[in-house]
Structure 1
């Protein structure tokens, strides 16, 4: 009989799907499916339909496989967030965790993709992707914050595999593509002035709306010296900011998200 190895250990699998619809001037659940270690909760509050994603496995490690899909139907407003920060834990050699997210927004609808931070731990191996399909006239707000270890705990990342891909299309036209590939001694990479200048946290923001230009100057003022914002094209605002750590990042990030979400930032961000 073959002796079991670490590669034979059970891994976490999670799938979640949610779609929204508009009825009588309010956004409601249209369809919902969840299985494995992914669960969705829907707090009752005024404003958009809010879906809180929970990873009951407690994090992602090598061999885990998670998928999420969310659709904002015609005239509806769907906000998807997370209960807490996601954690990418140490993986065994040869194993990689996967997280794939697909978002779709109909015409005259809005979707806010507002996950809390992803925390990378020493030895993690994570490959994730975010694919967004917007109809003409759709509105979309995205934030993707990343913490490179927990500085308050004295953590440094010297052995990491992290690959991240973001693709946003509208009416078949590519609006935004971004990629991040980190392998090896991330702490040394972050020290380089051309990369992060010693920062330990980063966030990317994309806001697709006809009113994007009106937010550009205020967002630039709020970013301070460790961030930048621009219009990729009319109606598409992008921003990136750095922070010394998670606390420093949030001090700048939350006021910006409050503005771009019309002060409807999910309550889980305040806990």
Structure 2
């Protein structure tokens, strides 16, 4: 008697290739009658730009990811230039989300920024939230003229605490490079993989913190902000003056809500203006 072999159809079926999102943006500003105005813009795919009603002379641009997040295989690129004597502020409509990725697939986000003579560049996206089993490779490269200034803020959230999310498995490669006149003045790299929650729980690493922010401020008045900021920070944050015009702040917090309580006053102080309106919506 022959007994037929029962095969699990799902085991024999290869994982289908999922559709992937792609998007690219380029934007630049120029000076006109003491105002910063749009010089050039190009957008493609799942990346869009909006320009809110201005409250001052700066040009503010809001990046929107119409795909709703980043997953393995997605590709996003942004290029922005603050032209001479302009102020360009870049933020995002909402927090970015790095979702679960299929095995062997990594989402890539590449941001390339620059600022010309006597320009001011503010890069202040809202948080990037990492979900369990995400895989994200992100690069931020900033090139400044010798007379340009910059305020850069990047925030990572390691799962939403209020939702009980835990990063039992995730991959993150995150790099920030700031150059002045072609010379690197700030290099930072973060690589997390595997059981991220257990790694962050180590008292010598993050002591269980669920959110991390890095703020880089490069301007002639950087030194004047050092002591006031140091006095305002709690035990999970620190500030260092890496050069006469380079201030770096690193802050940890239990969750993103607590971290914002630290970040918003800092960004207001360093920018001399309220945080971009999408932060408050």
TM-score by length of structure 1 reads 0.97
1:157 to 150, 153, 167: 167
**Residue 206, structure 1, aligned to residue 223, structure 2:** no
After TM superposition, give the deviation of residue 19 of structure 1 in Å.
0.1
Q: The residue matched to 2:193 in structure 1 has which SS?
A: strand
The Cα offsets for residues 96-119 of structure 1, whole Å up to 9 and x where unpaired, read as 000000001001001000000000
Measure how far apart 1:261 and its partner are.
1.3
Q: Indicate the SS of the match to 1:257.
A: helix
Matched, 1:20 2:29: yes
Structure 2: stretches of 5+ with no match in the other structure:
1-11
TM-score under structure 2 normalisation?
Answer: 0.94
| Aligned-residue offset at 1:8 | 2.0
Q: CA offset at residue 46 of structure 1?
A: 1.9
1:165-184 map, 5 Å? 165-184=175-194
Partner of 2:204: 194
1:1-271 paired onto structure 2 within 5 Å: 6=15, 8-47=17-56, 48-271=58-281
1:186-235 per-position Cα deviation (integer Å, ceiling 9, x unaligned): 10011111110111001000000000001111111222111000110110
Q: How much has 1:7 moved relative to structure 2?
A: 5.1
> Secondary structure of 2:234's partner?
helix
Q: Which residue of 1 aligns with 2:7?
A: none
- Structure 2 Cα separation of the partners of residues 64 and 250 of structure 1: 28
Q: In 2, Cα distance between the equivalents of 1:210 and 1:95?
A: 43
Taking the aligned partners of 1:226 and 1:217, their CA distance within structure 2 comes to 16
For residues 98 and 46 of structure 2, what CA distance do their matches in structure 1 show? Answer: 15
SS in 1 for 2:235: helix
Secondary structure of the residue aligned to 1:8 is coil
**Does the C-alpha gap of structure 1 residues 31 and 191 become closer, same or farther in structure 2, counting only changes over 3 Å?**
same
- How many pairs were matched up? 269
RMSD: 1.2
Shift of 1:4: 8.8
Distance 2:156 2:147 in 1: 30
Between the aligned partners of 2:208 and 2:191, the Cα distance in structure 1 is 18
Instruction: Give distance in 2, aligned partners of 1:150 and 1:220.
Output: 28
- Provide the C-alpha distance between the structure 2 equivalents of 1:195 and 1:205, rounded to a whole number of angstroms: 19
Alignment CA distance shift 1:152-1:8 (3 Å)? same
Unaligned runs of 5+ in 1: none
Alpha-carbon deviation of 1:168? 0.5
Cα deviation digits, residues 127-165 of structure 1 (max 9, x gap): 010011001110000000110000000011010000001
